[in-house]
Amino acid sequence: MSGVFAHAVETLHSAQFRPEVHLEETPAPKRLAPHTHALSADVFVESDDDDPTATGRLVLLYDPAGQEAWHGEFRLVTYVRASLELEMGSDPLLPAVGWSWMIDALTNRSAPFTAPSGTVTRVSSEGFGGMADETATAEIEIRASWTPLDGELMPHALAWGDALTTAAGLVPLPTGVVAIPQKRTRRSR
């Protein structure tokens, strides 16, 4: 493994996420670049939730020769999917707002980047016939990629975490502020 890539992976792993974010390494695609690394995360808004409110993946690509389309040697690629309230899912501004979650998070974390690109998709489902009793659902999917301007990837990982938790409906927290749990347990006397 290249020393430059190993350092980038180390800085990626140095990011400390909110307690609602459950992070793990996941197999990375091998054909996109000579060196790859991937993380996946699930966001559980309530500690007793069985299903995550949002899920995502962050893939680090590294080609020491660089790639013209990337405008650099590194590329970060992400996928974020989150459940939404039905009204929010039908908002015509949702795609632009969803894209701003990623770009604003990068800017707010002072993560230097160039060449952002991606798509935002809204998905709504409603059952009919034998499935008419199923609850209607809405989701957002954000696919984005960008080129970090250096190998210090902690702010990029934190920005990804911020976009993921924002998509899950959690309020962004300033650095150093700890979230108060959504559900409080009663003390027994």
Per-residue model confidence as pLDDT tens digits over 89-142 = 889 999 999 999 999 999 999 999 999 999 999 999 989 999 999 888 999 999
Residue bearing the bigger pLDDT, 178 or 9 = 9
Q: What's the mean pLDDT in 1-8?
A: 89
User: What pLDDT sits at residue 38?
Assistant: 98
Q: What is the dihedral of CA 160, 163, 164, 170, to 10 degrees?
A: 140
pLDDT greater than 70 at residue 182: no
Asked whether the predicted pLDDT for residue 75 surpasses 80, the reply is yes
The whole-number pLDDT of residue 70 equals 95
Per-residue pLDDT tens digits for 159-171:
999 999 999 999 8
For residues 141-153, average pLDDT: 96
> Which sign, positive or negative, has the C-alpha torsion 63, 69, 70, 76?
negative
Give 10-62 pLDDT, tens digit per residue. 999 999 999 999 999 999 999 999 999 999 999 998 877 788 999 999 999 99
DSSP string of 61-127, one letter each residue: EEEEEEETTTTEEEEEEEEEEEEE-HHHHT-TTHHHHHHHHHHHHHHHTT--EEEEEEEEEEEEE--
What local confidence, expressed as pLDDT, does residue 188 receive? 42
**pLDDT score recorded for residue 189:** 41
d(CA 49, CA 93) in angstroms, rounded, equals: 29
- Range of lowest pLDDT (75-84, 123-132, 177-186): 177-186
Does position 180 have pLDDT exceeding 70, yes or no? no
What was the pLDDT predicted at 185?
40
